[in-house]
Structure 1
Amino acid sequence: MDQVPGSPQEPKDAHGGDGLPACYRHPDRTTGIHCTRCDKPICPDCMVSASVGFHCPDCVRSGSGTGHSASATAPRTIAGGTIAANPRLITLILMGINLAVFIAVYIAGKEDGSNQLLSDLVMRGRTPPGYLPQGVANGEWYRLVTAMFLHQEIPHIAFNMLSLWWLGPPLEAALGRLRFFVLYMLAGLGGSALSYLIAPPDAASLGASGAIFGLLGATAVLMRRLNYDMKPVLILLGLNLVFTFAWPNISWQAHIGGLVVGAAVAYGMVHAPRERRNLVHTATCVVALLAIVAVVWVRTLQLVG
């Protein structure tokens, strides 16, 4: 007799190649999380937050896990976000913005021959002595944001967008749309801030790499929270760090800044106590933003003082 995933005939302790049980609805996904009501293994896409632990969709539909009818129970992600029908929407929007900016800068550069638009949006501290002041030190703080969506060469944007497509959807599904977007922006700003603090003041920095490294750090935090095998993400992180420091003309400051902020924000999101989840999430993001502002303010005082 064929075994149907999730059926009584399926061995409860069926395990994948990494020793963890497979999700009862997605046999190709191993997981370390179980439904606190029926003890079936469940992956992030099947988790529904409950007053204690997580419940599987079957228990939610039956109302046995919460004491309420299925219609009264809104499925939530591990971070408390609403489960969306399309867990790739924000990822696709971010990719679209990056591609649109790349095309606009390319067209503008072809028209004026100097790529002045790119120069006006790229992140830099200030120009060397003897030149008109410009950049973040001159009050152009928007460069910290616009630089996150700028790419000068096709291989640069291709690699970053491929990484965003690979890392984004799983995180968006696990955190929820709003939390994923906030994490992405804070990680990107963290990369810009550290680059502004440490890099030479006349050095230009651009690219979504800081935000991408933030997603990589968040992925590591999420996998640790779910008790997944950490080897693949640690190997990937190690390779990217080697590439960061070994390859010339790469802003390692932006990569490290994004990695640290992304991991820190993700930790606050996935480890927050359920009863104070919104408060902890808000506080985590506010503290991260204030830290970024403080770094930019201190560096600005150094440059204009």
Structure 2
Amino acid sequence: MNEAPSTAPVCYRHPSRETQLACSRCDRPICVKCRIDAAVGFQCPECVKKGNKGVRPARTAFGGSRVGQLGYACQAIIAVNLLFLTASAVFGGPRAIVGGGGWFGLLGISTPVTEWGAVFGYAYYQDGSLHGIANGEWYRLVTAMFINYGAVHLLLNMSLVATLGRYLERQLGPLRFLTLYLIAGFGGNVAAYVFHPQNQYSAGASTATYGLVIAVIVINRRLALDAGPVIPLLVTNIIFTFSVPNISIAGHLGGLAAGAATAAVLAYLRLPRRTLKQVAGCALVVAIIVAAALARTSYLLS
């Protein structure tokens, strides 16, 4: 005895599965595994995909991506700083991590890595070779913000990245946060280049992290949030800067100034064309910093 073939509809993605469900948008049959809950009924994966194409991704109050909630930028910054300290220990020995002097012997010693990447104006080394930013080693104005003298120095700076940095990355998004961090560090390093003796080394992530401290205050004021808890941290860091020997006062204050200016650009420039305005504002801040570096170079070479 022959059975009549089934006339029940089958899932368009799985022809072997009978179903009584259908996509509320295109009306194609879908099985339980393919259905996606919608405001009304169910939708198939293709209709959901097409619908998402017209949905703009969520943005923060300052135009940044919500990906900043994951903290990828902060993690990358910490990883780069750890990488430089590891390289410093490989080429300089264990005392590059601790026991080299400063802060009761808690800081690390200078190593070939710190000598290569620190802010250094213009002078001859003992072997007779000429080095420094004025000699064309412009990379020092960037690398110096990722170099720390030992584990304690690194821990102090990265604790600010892990706390204040994560907060700022959530508010600004990863790209705007990285822009803030890099401009603050760059500005602090240029200030050290301009105001330090030309044969003096200077390095540390604090040029950038000081910018984060002031940026939290600027961002919170823009959001009408209480900035009170951060102000004592700022005051403490300023007192620390002026009271502890061998601290780069120019680097710290330069990072504060550059961080404040960049944070103001990101926080107070609004729609329409907010991103374009922010790019132009940040470019102006960078141009002023670069002009200061070029003026210092011209002076050292004259």
Query: What TM bracket, shorter-length normalisation?
Result: 0.7 to 0.9
| Count of matched residue positions in the alignment of Structure 1 and Structure 2 | 237
Deviation at 1:73, TM superposition (A): 4.1
- Flag as ranges the 4+ runs of structure 1 deviating above 4 A: 128-131
Q: Does 1:221 align with 2:218?
A: yes
Distance 2:124 2:83 in 1: 31
Give the alignment partner of residue 179 of structure 1, picking from 163, 166, 176: 176
Instruction: Give 1:109-258 correspondences, 5 Å limit.
Output: 109-110=92-93, 115-127=111-123, 132-258=129-255
Instruction: Give 1:273-292 correspondences, 5 Å limit.
Output: 273-292=270-289
Letter in 2 for 1:83: R
Distance 1:107 1:183 in 2: 31
Deviation at 1:128, TM superposition (A): 6.2
Letter in 2 for 1:212: T
Q: Does 1:294 align with 2:291?
A: yes
Is the alpha carbon distance of 1:304 and 1:86 closer, same or farther for their aligned partners in structure 2, counting shifts above 3 Å?
same
Q: Does 1:88 align with 2:71?
A: yes
Which residue of structure 1 aligns with residue 18 of structure 2?
A: none
Q: Does 1:105 align with 2:101?
A: no
With structure 1 as the length reference, what TM-score do the two structures score?
A: 0.73
Deviation at 1:211, TM superposition (A): 0.3
Identity %: 37
Is the alpha carbon distance of 1:218 and 1:129 closer, same or farther for their aligned partners in structure 2, counting shifts above 3 Å?
same
Post-superposition Cα deviations, 1:101-133, rounded to whole Å, max 9, x if no partner, equal: 10011111139x983232121111012699542
Contact 1:87–1:177 under 8 Å retained in 2? no
With structure 2 as the length reference, what TM-score do the two structures score?
A: 0.74
What value does the CA root-mean-square deviation take over the aligned residues?
Answer: 2.2
Deviation at 1:96, TM superposition (A): 0.4
Structure 1 runs not aligned, ≥5 long: 1-60, 62-68
Distance 1:289 1:216 in 2: 19
Distance 2:216 2:68 in 1: 21
Distance 1:173 1:255 in 2: 24
Structure 2 runs not aligned, ≥5 long: 1-38, 40-50, 97-109
